[in-house]
Structure 1
């Protein structure tokens, strides 16, 4: 599999020069939502209204997704379904770290540790392979700035970025008003099948709810 939606959101969050992630809280919600949406797109989960459920526990072969699928299974504890908002709340603090570790394993970024002010250990993630991020930005520009029709994964990515208010990370240097309307249009558009479109809509609502409740908006 190419880079996952969650990994793409992490890539966008990493500063090109410093390797430091920006908008950590908002990005955390979007990354957790990206993993869940990827499970929907691969047929392993479904999102209906406020609830999610696992529909197929067959491994995808992608460790990031399979680890989260196992965690979801444990979290559900035999229940048929669980709250989307509760799951995103639980996972948002951990999903980003899992996604960046996956990027490191792919050789896309490399982790560097140093001490801020000589005292506080911090991590930064610098590009080892710039192609995935460059191609990602080109894909987003084609859809949002040039009006190209997105595929379902790109539509889902744009919906999550828009819901989590990550416009600045997706399009650095451009004012939010220049891109927000088109991103909203893509999020609500007819680019995917009805079941996936419904999942994107319901997850977008959950991300909006959680970021507002936790003060991220």
Structure 2
């Protein structure tokens, strides 16, 4: 299954929603990740949205239900699908709990995918000559350039969002990652526009339902994480 970020004329590299989130968060030069905690949760939520779009799961309110356990051919999504399908405990996990559970593997797998696709490269350096730190600077900026142009057209110029772009906007909004796209003075306008897009009628009900559930769960997680960090 393909997960296109762009039209066929824009370039050959396709990326998932999770990969798009990670690309937006990585500093092109240093490879350091911005807003890493929120991005991790957003990437996990993106896995649920991708599975819903592909008809593999239904995400309704607090529940995630497997409809079809057939793998999609993407390592991150297939691992998430198998994990959800294999959950046989008496109490089902809520959407928020699945996002929290999946985030570690989703981030690691998504990073590996970006390296394999040649969009970032892996570099390990030692801080103070002692501590190894791995970063992922940009190797090919074409996919991110196309992505940012399309997001800007939808968010700031009012162009109609397709299903995947609107899903990405909703995930960014839910995880409070507006700053990955805009700074002041555009930031306030961007937040307002992104909220409108996130809550618009841009996809089939089942997909909108999944995105809304993921967005609501992200907002709850981010608030709790922020309060805990401050305390």
Aligning the two structures, in what range does the TM-score lie when normalised by the shorter sequence? Answer: over 0.9
Contact 1:54 1:81 in 2 (8 A): no
Task: Give runs of aligned pairs for residues 30-45 of structure 1, distance below 5 A.
Answer: 30-45=42-57
Q: 1:141 aligns with which of 149, 152, 158?
A: 152
Q: Which deviates more from structure 2 when the two are superposed, residues 172-181 or residues 32-41? A: 172-181
**Under a length normalisation based on structure 2, what TM-score does the superposition of the two structures give?**
0.88
Deviations 1:147-177 (A, max 9, x none): 0111111111000101111011123565420
Counterpart Cα distance in 2 of 1:71 and 1:155: 26
Q: 1:189 aligns with which of 187, 196, 200?
A: 200
Counterpart Cα distance in 1 of 2:195 and 2:223: 18
Structure 2 counterpart of 1:128: 139
Counterpart Cα distance in 2 of 1:189 and 1:79: 36
Structure 1 counterpart of 2:7: none
**Under a length normalisation based on structure 1, what TM-score does the superposition of the two structures give?**
0.94
Counterpart Cα distance in 1 of 2:185 and 2:125: 31
Q: 1:22 aligns with which of 34, 45, 54?
A: 34
Can you give the 5+ residue segments of structure 2 that lack an aligned partner in the other structure?
3-13
Q: 1:48 aligns with which of 60, 78, 103?
A: 60
Structure 2 counterpart of 1:201: 212
Q: 1:53, CA displacement in angstroms?
A: 1.2
The structure with the largest strand share of the pair is 1
Task: Give runs of aligned pairs for residues 79-158 of structure 1, distance below 5 A.
Answer: 81-158=92-169
Aligned residues: 216
Counterpart Cα distance in 2 of 1:78 and 1:190: 35
Matched residue of 2:121: which SS? strand
Counterpart Cα distance in 2 of 1:53 and 1:106: 31
Counterpart Cα distance in 2 of 1:144 and 1:197: 18
Deviations 1:122-169 (A, max 9, x none): 111111111110011011001001101111111110001011110111
Counterpart Cα distance in 1 of 2:91 and 2:81: 14
